Amino acid sequence: MIRGRPERQPPIGWSAGQARGGRRMVTITVCVGSSCHLKGARQVIMRFNDMLTKHGLLDRVTLKGSFCMERCGEGVNWQIDNEPVTSATAEEAVAIFCRRVLAPLGVVTDEAGGGGAA
């Protein structure tokens, strides 16, 4: 607590790490295990990072890697917060990322076309 001011609490349902300036933080975790790496995880991470940088969202979206998510064989595995997502290609991952991460943050991009269901 700062003198005379109550400690700022994050909104209900958010952890302290999810709130900065009253905005919810989104965490994207991409599997970098050997199977996902061979299927394009590196390209997915690079594309996500490029889009976050381009749209100035590095302060609102955390992008990180994780070793095996134990869904080998399904495609490139990643998560939006704790929700699992599988993409057959980097392009499909980008389309899902645009629809389910960027759009709710108010970003409109032409990269959202194509891709399959999450």
* pLDDT of residue 61 exceeding 50: yes
Range 18-47 average pLDDT: 85
Contact (CB, 8 A) for 17 and 23: no
Q: Give the residue with greater pLDDT, 100 vs 4.
A: 100
pLDDT, position 110: 72
The 10 Å Cβ neighbour count of residue 65 is: 16
Q: Which domains does the chain have, with CATH numbers?
A: 24-105 (3.40.30.10)
State residue 13's pLDDT score: 41
Question: With pLDDT > 70 as the criterion, what percentage of the chain qualifies?
Answer: 74
DSSP the chain: -BTTBPPPPPPTT--GGGEETTEE-EEEEEE-SHHHHHTTHHHHHHHHHHHHHHTT-TTTEEEEEES--S-TTSSEEEEETTEEEEESSHHHHHHHHIIIIIGGGT---GGGSS----
3 has pLDDT over 80: no
Which pTM does this prediction carry?
A: 0.74
pLDDT for 23: 66
Q: Check whether 6 has a pLDDT greater than 80.
A: no
